[in-house]
Structure formats: C-alpha cells, structure tokens
Chains A and B, each alone.
Chain A
Amino acid sequence: MTIGIAAFITFRESNYTTVVARYQSYWPGQTVDDHTFYPFNTNAIVSNASGGQESISVEFAVSNTITSIVEAGIADSHFVELAFYQFTPTTSGAPPTSKTLFASFIGELVSATQNETTITIQVGSTLNPVEAQAPPRKFTTTLIGEPPKI
C-alpha cells in the first residue's frame, strides 16, 4: 500500500486570528484546504519531557513573497503552524477527499537564514536559554533610583 504524507504550513500574525499565508508542498499548482502550493522541506516534530529546547527548521525556495513574510514574521513574532497529514494517494494525483492528521506543531517564527536559493526559518518559542530568566525583572535605576550607600 502506498501512503502519502503532506506537510501544511500556516503563517499567522501575533494576534493569531489574521492569516498571513497558507502553503502546502505536496500538490503542485493546486490549492488544498486554502493552502496554495509552495515547495518547502521540514524536519521532524519532537515532543519531549526533558525540558530541552525544541524548534523546527523549515526550508523554502527563496522568493520575494516568502522573504517578506519571514521578515515581517520575525519582527512581530508571527505564529507558524505545521501539520503533517497521511493519506492514500489518488491515481489522478488529485488531493484525496480525506486525510489523517498525525503530527502538528505551533510556534513562533524566531529566526531565519537565507542564501541564493533557500530561506530557512526556525519555528520555536522565546523560551530559550538566553532570554528566559526567572525572576523576570531586574532592579534598574529607573525602577529604584539611586540605591542607598551605607
């Protein structure tokens, strides 16, 4: 039995409700569930209980459209949703009437790299080792003025 696996990606603004773009990378030239075709690759989705940093890389072919989406997304912490579907391919190559979601991931667009041909984004969270400190705030001169000297 042949099984097909398709990846869908959705870019959303930081308010989550506004969709910036939807892409799928399986059916060239077709729009499936409002997702237009745009080639991209992604690595595995990992769920863990070790507290380790997990983010996902998604690699796109460079275009002005995707570049502007990425630049705006990094500046405003846009959400990125990935969904992996499994389905039975049709003989005509048309999208199937049903498909099964077997993995999904939601994160923020946290970084990106670009070369002549590809642009690769990292989807994760701001909960990284450098920025996420607890307690969250520090004593500053603005907050406490000039401290006593004794």
Chain B
Amino acid sequence: MTSNPSYIAPQSASAPITTNLRKDELAALLTVDKDATGQQRIIATGNSIPLVFCRQTGGIGGAWVTPPAARYGVEENANTGDYFAFGLVISDGRIPAIGTADIWKGPIRCNTLSEFGATNAYGSMPSSSYDYTLTSVGPDTPATSTTTTERLSFANSNVSYSFNGQSYTITVNGCTSFSFTNSKISNSPTSSANYVHKWIATTNGSAYANSGASETTNYSDSFSFSTPTNFAITFTTAFANYWPQPAYLVFSELSYNYTVTTTITTPFVPGAVTNLPLYAGAGGTFAGMSTLAVRGRYAVDAETGIYKQQIRCFVRNGVQVDRVLGGNGSSCSFPDLAYYLLKNASKVSTRLIDLPSLQEAEEFNSNYELFFNGVLANSVNLRDYLARVAPMFLLRFVQINGKFGLRPVLPLDGSFNIRTDAITPSYTFDDSNIVVGSFQKDYINASERKPFCALMTYRSQTESLYGTPQTVEVRYSGTATDGPFEQYDMEEFCTTQSHATLVGRYILASRKHVTHTVSFQTTALIGDLVPTDVIQVTWDYTSSLVADGATTYLYQVDSVSEGVDGVFRVEATHFPTTAAGASQVAIDTVAGI
C-alpha cells in the first residue's frame, strides 16, 4: 500500500498463495462451483439469503447458482430407480422463472430424467407434485407362475354309462384323440337290446363331426387332434320316449388320450419400505424469496448415490429491481445493484442517495459493457463492498454532501464516454488562494510504481458449461514479462474478457503514471467541488539552493472538507496528462497499452 492514505488503489491485489482461502470468503465459491458431483447443499438458518443479480443480453451474462435445499425428498428404490425432490431457494427477491433446460444436476440436464418436474415460485415453496419424504424401498418379489402338463389316457372294453333322458354327452378336456367302437343304447350294460341313435361331436364348443340325420344301432369312429382340445360327443335320438329309462350307453371299446395342465402361481410382493433416519424439512413462509422445486427419477442401473448430487441452475435473469434509469426488472448494472442494496440492505433513505450520479454511472457502464452478473451469497459490509467493487466498474463509491453515489474514475464527455481530449479543470489553485503552509505533497512509494503484470480473473461461462475462472494477463508492452504479477479477482461478477482487460489497463495506467498526491487548504469558495473533479494546482517553491520555481499539475479530487471557519481542505491525486492536456490514464485505458 502507498504511504499516503488518500490515494485509493482500485483494488488490493489478491495474495497469490492465499487465493484459495480468499475464495472461501466469496460468493464465487458458490457461484462457480466446479465440483459437478458434489452433494446437494442444505440450507442453514443464519446464513445470508443469496441475491442473484444478473441479466443476459446478447447471449452474454447470467449466472450459475448452486441453490441450497430447504426441502429434501429422496427414495432409494431398487426396483424403479432412485427418486429425488428438492425444494430450493434461488434468490432473495423475485426473479423470472428458470427454464427447465437451465436446470442441471451433476453433468446432466434434469429434464432428461423420467418423472421430471420443476416449478418456480415466489413467496412459497412448491409442495404439490413433490414428494418430500425420505424412504428406501427394497427389491420387489415378482409374481411367479409354474405350469405343468400331464399326458393321460383311458382305454377299456365293454364300457357303459347309465343315464336318464334322451341324450348323453361324454366330455374330454385336453383331448388329443378319441376312439369308440360299437356304440349301443340298451336297457342294461349287458343286454342285447339295441336302440337306434346318432351322435354329434364338438371341439371347443363348435360343431366338429356327426353321424348324420338318420339313426342306426351301431357306430364306430375315431378322432385325433394336433393340440389338446376340449372334445365332447353327444349320443341322442330324435324319437321322444323311445329309449328305455334308465338307458345305458355301451361301447365294446372306448379309448381316449388327454392332457391335464396345472398352473401354480405366487403373488407379487412389493419391496419393504424403510423410512430413512433423515429429515426432509418443514414449515417456513419463504416470504420475499424465489424458490424452485425439482424432481426426477434415475434409471435402475444409475450410479449409486447420484440422486444426492447438487442441483445447479443457469439463471439468465436475476432479481427484479428498480433501475436507476427508470423501470423495474432484472439488471446487470452495478449502479442498479448499488441502488438496490443501499435501499434494501441498510434502508438508506432515497433522500440520501445521489440518483443522478448513479444514472450517469449506469450510462457509462452501459457504453463500455461493464456488467455485473453474479451472486451475493456471503455477508459483507455494504460500504466496504461498494467501495471495493466500484473500481472494477471504473467507478468510485462517493459520499457528497451526505449523499451516496457513484462517480466515474475518469472524466466523461456528454455521451458518457471516457474523455481522451484536453481536460479543463474545475478550479485552479495557486499561491493566491492556497493557505500558506498548508500545501503537502506525498510521492507514491517506488514499490507501487514498478512495472507489473495484472492478472485479471473473470468468469467464463455458457448456458451449458459451468463457470470456470479465466485469467487475462494485462501488461505494458515489453514490461513484466516474467513478473511481478498482481492478481485482481473479478470472477464474482465479470463474465467478459473485454471488461477485465479494460479494468486491468486502468489499474496499470494509474500505477504507471500517477506519481503523487497533494493536500492543501484554501479559502476559495469551492462549494461545488466534489470528489473525482479535476483541478489544477500551481505550486511555487523556494529553497536556499535553487531559484524560485513552480510546477503545475492536474489533480483528481479525493476529498473536500468544508468547515464553518471558511477554510476548505482538499486532498487530491495526481491526474497525469499529455502535452495536449488529455488524461494519460484515460488514453492508455481506452486505446490500449
């Protein structure tokens, strides 16, 4: 750090060796989680409700989130595959619905799973259609069926059947052959009396054969079937009350073959259901937050335990906020984020927010496509956060006359572009209005001015690829090719190399060209002088060794103190310019280094 506290470095460099520890403290860990097979995180009371702040424009932007689960339902099922149902909290505030194609679990899109379902909600947790219970289902015992077929036969001589009436039917189920010889209707099994008769045969209830319309006293016939058939043969007569009662149907020979089929079945027995010694979560209002319920079932042969994997969502459009330029909706504007947080995190009255400065900052950031696409997940002090992150959008978090605002780090023209032409200072100070003895000049430490390579880390992502850190090396041509390196972590919110590069150029240009800071007191009436304004200071100096001299520099105001004694105290940082009076830092930042 510089020895002069009024000099504001854009951001302290990350310590290379402690980068991992530092990431643990950032939401980036949750936003850019590269462990695709990690277990679903569980919500914890006391933790901050994450704020997903992003907006996708032109295919750029959006944020990957790994939401925690407030409801946890699983079914370990050996028969139908493992099922899961997670109730997740996505963001504080209201966000537009997340599309089903943007919900992932491990390496796959959830909508490829069977029984997939997803429901977005605001102010509640979807429960219908989602089974938030924790069970294990053992293997089912399937129903079985065993069939045995036995071949039987009958053959005998002088077979007789006694009956009353005018017909008698012999039925053989499963019959494969049937043969009879010398049929006879008589008044006893052994009598020689023989009455005329006829016969009709059926198979499976349909007519098969018969003896004809006329009747006689003796028939013989035989039948065979390729498959077992329900065979019936009926002996009858057309003459009423002609046959003796009882009558006897007699054959000299009767034989048939048949099969008997026996089936033994056991019923289906479902697998035993065991309630897991876990808790699915219950209660809560979920007021003011966006939630998402997701369910699905894996195939039976899926990897063991895969149902526990973390849900990830690609949120294209984050929390809907009041925009500084008007309207309400998702935003990727850092000034919009600052406005939202100032109003909601600390309930700062809008009277104390310098809205015009936020609007100017938004126009500027939009011109250069400096967008915020990230998740605020870990609690940070708001003032520190805004002051730390604002330079990554080439802005400064300022307090002017009690009001909070954002001011560009470099002067802008009327179209909100960085000025690279000659700068006209707001005020000029010299011997005539600087209080004698108040002028102080502090040079920036040599260690701060050595050439270095800025390692600007940002987040590379697509809607189908989890965010991964990327680093772009920014250096002045031909300098610091082998270091030293300073790392600047923008992974939390920056998704474009152009954004990271632009900020890197500004940091390098500031460190190269800014040589000192000054402070002085003045009695000039400078009530409208505000931080980031550019002033000119001409300082006359004398010494016993050299003749009187004077130096004239431009400076950028860091702070202005206005007392009731009528004396203004100004602290400012060297604002290096070209011979034409243009900002050297601005030229290097815009044109490249």
> Given known contacts A49-B559, A129-B384, A148-B70, is B402 in contact with A106 (CB within 8 Å)?
yes
B292 to chain A, nearest CB (A): 14
Contact yes or no, A144 B380, CB < 8 A: no
Residue from B278, B351, B379, B558 within 8 A of A133 (CB atoms) = B379
Q: Mark B4-16, 1 if CB is under 8 A from A, else 0.
A: 0010100000000
> Given known contacts A137-B288, A141-B284, A148-B42, is B404 in contact with A125 (CB within 8 Å)?
yes
Q: Mark B385-406, 1 if CB is under 8 A from A, else 0.
A: 1111010000011111111100
Contact yes or no, A51 B70, CB < 8 A: no
Contact yes or no, A45 B381, CB < 8 A: no
B350 to chain A, nearest CB (A): 10
A89 to chain B, nearest CB (A): 13
B71 at the interface (CB under 8 A from A): yes
Most chain B beta-carbon contacts within 10 A, residue among A5, A46, A125, A144: A144
CA distance A77 to B351 in the complex (A): 12
Contact yes or no, B376 A134, CB < 8 A: yes
Contact yes or no, A148 B559, CB < 8 A: no
A127 to chain B, nearest CB (A): 5
Contact yes or no, A54 B399, CB < 8 A: yes
> Given known contacts A125-B348, A143-B284, A150-B278, is B49 in contact with A138 (CB within 8 Å)?
yes
Contact yes or no, B89 A137, CB < 8 A: no
> Given known contacts A49-B8, A51-B387, A108-B352, is B45 in contact with A135 (CB within 8 Å)?
no
CA distance A103 to B560 in the complex (A): 10
A residues 109-143 near B (Cβ < 8 Å) are 123-129, 131-143
Contacts of A132 in B (CB 8 A): 345-346, 348, 381-383
A93 at the interface (CB under 8 A from B): no
A70 at the interface (CB under 8 A from B): no
Contact yes or no, A148 B525, CB < 8 A: no
Contacts of B407 in A (CB 8 A): 49
Contact yes or no, B558 A49, CB < 8 A: yes
CA distance A14 to B285 in the complex (A): 30
Contact yes or no, B569 A100, CB < 8 A: no
Contact yes or no, B559 A48, CB < 8 A: yes
Residue from B45, B404, B525 within 8 A of A147 (CB atoms) = B45
> Given known contacts A49-B397, A132-B381, is B563 in contact with A144 (CB within 8 Å)?
no
A42 at the interface (CB under 8 A from B): yes
Contacts of B43 in A (CB 8 A): 139, 144, 147-148
Contact yes or no, A138 B564, CB < 8 A: no
CA distance A126 to B352 in the complex (A): 10
Q: Which stretch from B467-475, B493-501, B526-534 is at the chain A interface? A: B526-534
Contact yes or no, A47 B345, CB < 8 A: no
Q: Interface of chain B, helix or strand or loop or mixed?
A: mixed
Residue from B92, B561, B563, B564 within 8 A of A135 (CB atoms) = B92
CA distance A132 to B348 in the complex (A): 9
A39 to chain B, nearest CB (A): 13
The residue in chain B whose Cβ has the minimal distance to the Cβ of A101 is B527
B586 at the interface (CB under 8 A from A): no
A36 to chain B, nearest CB (A): 19
Contact yes or no, A148 B72, CB < 8 A: yes
Contacts of A105 in B (CB 8 A): 401-402
Contacts of B214 in A (CB 8 A): none
Residue from B281, B341, B525, B566 within 8 A of A146 (CB atoms) = B281
Contact yes or no, B49 A139, CB < 8 A: yes
Contact yes or no, A143 B341, CB < 8 A: no
Most chain B beta-carbon contacts within 10 A, residue among A45, A49, A133: A49
Contact yes or no, B402 A148, CB < 8 A: no
> Given known contacts A102-B525, A106-B401, is B72 in contact with A138 (CB within 8 Å)?
no
Contacts of B44 in A (CB 8 A): 139, 147
Contact yes or no, A129 B562, CB < 8 A: no
Contacts of A139 in B (CB 8 A): 43-49, 89
Q: Bin chain A's interface residue count.
A: 35 or more
> Given known contacts A49-B531, A147-B42, is B282 in contact with A103 (CB within 8 Å)?
no
> Given known contacts A102-B562, A107-B352, is B383 in contact with A140 (CB within 8 Å)?
no
CA distance A107 to B352 in the complex (A): 7
Contacts of A60 in B (CB 8 A): none
Contact yes or no, B69 A148, CB < 8 A: yes
B interface size (C-beta, 8 A):
82
Contacts of B532 in A (CB 8 A): 49
> Given known contacts A135-B48, A137-B92, is B42 in contact with A47 (CB within 8 Å)?
no
A43 at the interface (CB under 8 A from B): yes
B6 to chain A, nearest CB (A): 7
Contact yes or no, A50 B6, CB < 8 A: yes
A79 at the interface (CB under 8 A from B): yes
A19 at the interface (CB under 8 A from B): no
Contact yes or no, B398 A49, CB < 8 A: yes
Contact yes or no, B562 A45, CB < 8 A: yes
Contact yes or no, A50 B558, CB < 8 A: yes
Contacts of B390 in A (CB 8 A): 51
CA distance A59 to B383 in the complex (A): 27
A86 at the interface (CB under 8 A from B): yes
Contact yes or no, B48 A138, CB < 8 A: yes
Q: Mark B170-202, 1 if CB is under 8 A from A, else 0.
A: 000000000000000000000000000000000
Q: Mark B61-78, 1 if CB is under 8 A from A, else 0.
A: 000000001111000000
A93 to chain B, nearest CB (A): 19
> Given known contacts A42-B564, A141-B284, is B49 in contact with A134 (CB within 8 Å)?
no
Contact yes or no, A16 B351, CB < 8 A: yes
Most chain A beta-carbon contacts within 10 A, residue among B288, B346, B380, B403: B346
Contact yes or no, B564 A7, CB < 8 A: yes
B28 at the interface (CB under 8 A from A): no
The residue in chain A whose Cβ has the minimal distance to the Cβ of B74 is A150
Contacts of A53 in B (CB 8 A): 383
The residue in chain A whose Cβ has the minimal distance to the Cβ of B7 is A50
CA distance A145 to B564 in the complex (A): 55
Contact yes or no, A144 B278, CB < 8 A: no
The residue in chain B whose Cβ has the minimal distance to the Cβ of A106 is B402
> Given known contacts A135-B92, A137-B288, A139-B47, is B8 in contact with A50 (CB within 8 Å)?
yes
17 additional A-B pairs beyond A143-B285, A143-B286, beta carbons within 8 Å, are A5-B566, A16-B349, A46-B560, A46-B562, A50-B559, A51-B386, A100-B525, A106-B403, A132-B381, A134-B341, A134-B385, A138-B47, A138-B48, A144-B286, A146-B279, A147-B42, A148-B72
- 20 sampled A-B residue pairs with Cβ under 8 A: A44-B564, A48-B399, A48-B560, A49-B398, A51-B386, A79-B351, A84-B527, A104-B402, A106-B401, A123-B402, A125-B352, A131-B346, A136-B346, A138-B48, A139-B48, A144-B281, A146-B279, A147-B281, A148-B281, A150-B134
Interface residues of B (CB under 8 A from A): 6, 8, 42-51, 69-72, 89, 92, 134, 278-289, 308, 341-342, 344-349, 351-352, 376-377, 379-388, 390, 396-404, 407, 525-527, 530-532, 557-566, 569
